[in-house]
Amino acid sequence: MQSIAVRGAIDLIASLASELPAEVYSGTGTDRVRRPTPSYLLDPAGDGQGLPDWCYQVVESWLLRGNVYGDVLDHRGTCPTQIQLLHPDDVSGWIDENGTVHWSVTGRPVNPDRWLHQRVNPVPGRVLGLSPVAWHAATIGLSITSVRFGESWFRDGAHPSALLTNEEATLNEDQARQAKHRFLAALRGTREPVVLGKGWKYQQIQISPEESQFLATQGYTEAQCARIFGPGIAEVLGYESGGSMTYSNVESRSTHLLVYSVNKWLSRLERLLSSMLPRPQYVRIDRDGLLQSTTLERYRANEIALRNRWKTVNEVRQSEGDLPPVPWGNEPNPTSPAPPGGAHPDEHDDDQEDGS
C-alpha cells in the first residue's frame, strides 16, 4: 500500500463494490421479483458499521491477499447471518497428508462450524488463493524502491547540493570546514551577504528529474502497478496508457472499466452475499451507477426504453432521482394521462396515422 497506484487501484475497486446499490431478488427473467433486504444483511458484521463497510473490507482482503476469512457468529439454518471478518495476515491454512484442511488464527485452531473462507485466483493443490499483489510483487517493489531513492536524492542523501571552491589558495581541512560553516551560517541565518575573500567560487549542483530518470521510472512502474488490477485502472487513475485506445466519452471509459476490471469483483461479492440468503433469493449489485452518462444521453436512453415498452414512466421517474410516481405511470408507454371518458392520446395518434 506504499505504492500510490496500488493504494489508488484497491480503493477504486473496493469503493465501487461497496457503494453500488445491492438489491435482493428471487427468480429470473420475467419471473424476477424484488425482495426486501433482510435486516441482518444491512449490517453483516453486527458492529453497526453497515453493509458498505463490510463489503469494502471483503474486496480489500481479496485484492491484497487473495483470501477473505470470517468468524461466523450467527446463522439461520445453513445461511450465515453475522460474520466478523479477520485480518488475513492473522490466518494460516494448510492441507495435511490426508487431504484435510486445517486453519488457525494467530496460532490458535478454529472451529470449522464457525469458519468462512472465500478465495480468488485459485491454484491447484493449494488451499489459499493468490492476490494480484502476490503475482506482481517485483513490479510493486520497484515502484516503492524508486520512490525511496527519489526521496533520498532530493533530500541530499545521495549527492551534495553545491560546490564551494577556492581557485587561488590551497586550504587545509580546518580552513575548509571554517569556510563552509561561515557560508552556511550566512545562508541559514540572517540571509546577509557572505564575505570570504577572493578566489571563491560557488557552483550549485542540479540535475533534471527527467535526466535522473526516477520520475520516469516511477511513472512507468506506478502505471504498471495499476494495470495489475485490470485493464483501464491505470487510465482512470490518470497514468499514461502508452497505447492507441481512446474513449469517446466518460460512459465508454466506465463501460471498459466495468467489463474488464471491476465486474469480476462485483460478481464474487454477489455470490458471497447470496450465500447469506435462503434459496432461491440472491443479491444483485446494480451496475448502472457506474455507467453514468450525460443528461442528454440519459434522456435519450429513457425515451428509447419508453418507446419500446420495456420501461414504464414511473420506473424512469424513479431512476431520475426518485421522482414521485404518477397515477398513470405504471402501464407501458403512456405518454400522458388519458382524459376522463376519452381515448388515450396514443390511440388518437394511431387513428390519425391510419387516416381515420
Cβ-based neighbours of 294, under 8 Å, separated by 6 or more: 249, 251
133 CB neighbour count, 10 Å cutoff: 20
Q: What is the pLDDT of residue 58?
A: 96
Q: What is the pLDDT of residue 255?
A: 74
Start-to-end C-alpha separation, the chain: 72
Question: What contacts 218, CB < 8 A, 6 or more positions away?
Answer: 143, 146, 147, 150
pLDDT of residue 208: 45
Instruction: Specify the pLDDT at position 114.
Output: 92
pLDDT tens digits for 264-307? Answer: 999 999 999 999 999 899 999 988 767 665 566 677 788 888 88
Whether 205 and 161 have beta carbons less than 8 Å apart is answered as: yes
Mean pLDDT by 10 residues, the chain (356 residues): 81 92 87 90 94 96 92 90 94 87 92 92 86 69 61 54 70 78 68 65 52 49 77 77 52 72 92 93 85 66 82 81 79 58 45 44
Per-residue cell: 124: 491447484
**335-353 pLDDT tens trace:** 555 445 444 444 444 444 4
pLDDT at 306: 85
- What are the backbone dihedrals phi and psi of residue 222, each rounded to the nearest 5 degrees, phi first? -65, -40
Q: Cβ–Cβ contacts within 10 Å for residue 65, how many?
A: 21
Beginning with the edge strand found earlier in the chain, give each strand of the sheet holding 108-109 in spatial order.
91-95, 101-105, 108-109
Using alpha carbons, select from 338, 312, 257 the residue that is nearest to residue 13. Answer: 257
Q: How many CA within 13 A on the CB side of residue 37?
A: 17
Q: Among positive and negative, which fits the CA dihedral 40, 45, 49, 50? A: negative
